[in-house]
Amino acid sequence: MWIQEPGKISDRIDFLGTRNLCLYLLKGEEAMIIGGGMSYIAPSLEKQFSEMDFDLNRIKYLVIPHSHFDHCGAVPYLKRKFPDAEIVASAYFKEVLSKEKVVNFIANANKELIEKSGLQDEYERLNLRFDGIQVDRVVDEKDIIDLGDGIEAHFIEVPGHSKCCIATYVPQLKAVFPSDAAPFYTDDGSELTVLANEDFSLYVESLKRLAAHEVEICCFCHHGATVGDQAKNILQQGLEQTEKLRNYIVQQYQAIGDLDKTARKFAIEASEKNNFDFINYKIQNAIAKTMISSIIG
CA atoms within 13 A on the CB side of 236: 10
- Find the domain containing 87 and state its range: 2-180+213-231
- Is 278 among the domain residues? no
Residues 6+ apart with CB under 8 A from 115: none
- Is 195 among the domain residues? no
- Is 192 among the domain residues? no
- Is 35 among the domain residues? yes
- Is 186 among the domain residues? no
Q: What pLDDT band is residue 247 in, cutting at 50, 70 and 90?
A: very high
- Is 44 among the domain residues? yes
Task: Give the pLDDT confidence of 28-80 residue by residue, as tens digits.
Answer: 999 999 999 999 999 999 999 999 999 999 999 999 999 999 999 999 999 99
Question: Judging by beta carbons within 10 Å of its beta carbon (0-12, 13-18, 19+), is residue 115 exposed, middle or buried?
Answer: exposed
Q: What pLDDT band is residue 6 in, cutting at 50, 70 and 90?
A: very high
CA-to-CA distance for 202 and 204, rounded, in angstroms? 5
**Cα-atom radius of gyration of the chain, to the nearest Å?**
18
What local confidence, expressed as pLDDT, does residue 274 receive? 80
Contact between residue 277 and residue 283 where contact means Cβ atoms under 8 Å apart: no
Domain count, the chain: 1
Q: What is the DSSP string of 42-101?
A: HHHHHHHHHH--S-GGGEEEEE----SHHHHTTHHHHHHHSTTSEEEE-HHHHHHTT-HH
Backbone angles phi, psi at 236, to 5 degrees: -65, -40
Task: Give the pLDDT confidence of 127-161 residue by residue, as tens digits.
Answer: 999 999 999 999 999 899 999 999 999 999 999 99
What local confidence, expressed as pLDDT, does residue 189 receive? 87
CATH number for the domain harbouring residue 28: 3.60.15.10
- Is 269 among the domain residues? no
The answer on pLDDT for 105 being more than 80 is: yes
CA-to-CA distance for 178 and 182, rounded, in angstroms? 6
Task: Give the pLDDT confidence of 152-170 residue by residue, as tens digits.
Answer: 999 999 999 999 999 999 9
- Is 137 among the domain residues? yes
